[in-house]
């Protein structure tokens, strides 16, 4: 994995409790070593606390992993909401968002390829969070015109998470680690271009939809 086990800063400036330090240390170690390669003792050492305090707050390594998963989903949701609520007008917002979001993405990059039930829950929770965001879009964001919002949210989540999982290939192609402040901006600007360009003509779009409808007559049946 690229990026290393640097100590992330995923909370607010005042989020310096022992529980938060343990969680942040676990995020970095899980990202570098995976669930199997991370021990309670290693997390405690990285957080500057005793193994007993880690167990006091989280019970077990699985409990710690679940807490990290919940924090990741909430962090992604919060960053998105703050950006839509005017954060982009604040000169300091992007830097803060990147310092918060990049450790989260490093964690996701490892968690999503672990093949564990936790990874499945993480993906499903992200789909639900994005669907909720699309149903009640904030300032600067339009509600999508899709007739299958669940599939729409799933597709967008898959594309976003795919970029994270494939970050090593993307980093090689772009010449900079896309999970760092050096490489992330260039990739994200390219994604903005992709999302705003109209590459398909209305005629080709309609032809494609018609062809797909013939293959899938029960449109929207996969909505959850």
Contacts of residue 167, defined as CB under 8 A and 6 or more positions apart, other chains included, come to: 2, 105, 109, 177, 178, 179
pLDDT over 70 at 96, yes or no:
no
pLDDT over 90 at 108, yes or no:
no
Within 10 A of 151 (CB to CB), how many other CB atoms are there? 18
Q: How far apart are alpha carbons 129 and 131 in whole angstroms?
A: 5
Output the pTM of the full model: 0.66
DSSP label of 200: S
Q: Nearest CA to 31 among 113, 129, 116, 124?
A: 113
136-163 residue pLDDT tens: 877 777 888 898 999 999 999 999 889 8
DSSP label of 7: P
Q: Exposed, middle or buried, 17 (CB in 10 Å: 0-12/13-18/19+)?
A: exposed
pLDDT over 50 at 10, yes or no:
no
Q: How far apart are alpha carbons 220 and 10 in whole angstroms?
A: 37
Q: How far apart are alpha carbons 182 and 201 in whole angstroms?
A: 35
For the ranges 48-57, 80-89, 124-133, the lowest mean pLDDT is seen at: 80-89
174-223 residue pLDDT tens: 999 988 888 888 998 999 898 888 888 989 989 998 998 888 755 444 45
Q: How far apart are the first and last CA of the chain?
A: 34
Look-up: residue for tokens 């669940």?
Answer: 150
Q: How far apart are alpha carbons 198 and 113 in whole angstroms?
A: 32
pLDDT recorded at residue 223 = 53
């Amino acid at each position: 994995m690229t990026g290393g086990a640097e100590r992330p800063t995923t909370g607010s400036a005042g989020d310096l409790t022992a529980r938060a330090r343990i969680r942040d240390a676990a995020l970095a170690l899980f990202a570098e070593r995976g669930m199997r390669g991370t021990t309670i003792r290693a997390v405690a050492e990285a957080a500057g606390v005793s193994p007993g305090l880690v167990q006091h707050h989280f019970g077990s390594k699985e409990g710690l992993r679940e807490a990290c998963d919940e924090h990741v989903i909430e962090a992604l949701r919060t960053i998105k909401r703050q950006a839509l609520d005017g954060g982009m007008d604040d000169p300091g917002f992007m830097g803060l968002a990147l310092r918060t979001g990049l450790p989260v993405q490093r964690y996701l990059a490892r968690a999503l390829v672990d093949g564990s039930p936790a990874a499945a829950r993480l993906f499903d929770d992200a789909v639900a969070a994005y669907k909720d965001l699309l149903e009640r879009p904030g300032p600067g964001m339009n509600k999508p015109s899709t007739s299958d919002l669940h599939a729409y949210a799933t597709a967008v989540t898959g594309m976003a998470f795919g970029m994270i999982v494939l970050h090593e290939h993307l980093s090689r192609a772009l010449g900079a680690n896309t999970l760092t402040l050096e490489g992330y901006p260039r990739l994200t600007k390219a994604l903005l271009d992709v999302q705003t360009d109209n590459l398909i003509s209305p005629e080709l779009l309609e032809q494609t939809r018609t062809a797909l409808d013939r293959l899938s007559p029960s449109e929207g049946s996969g909505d959850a």
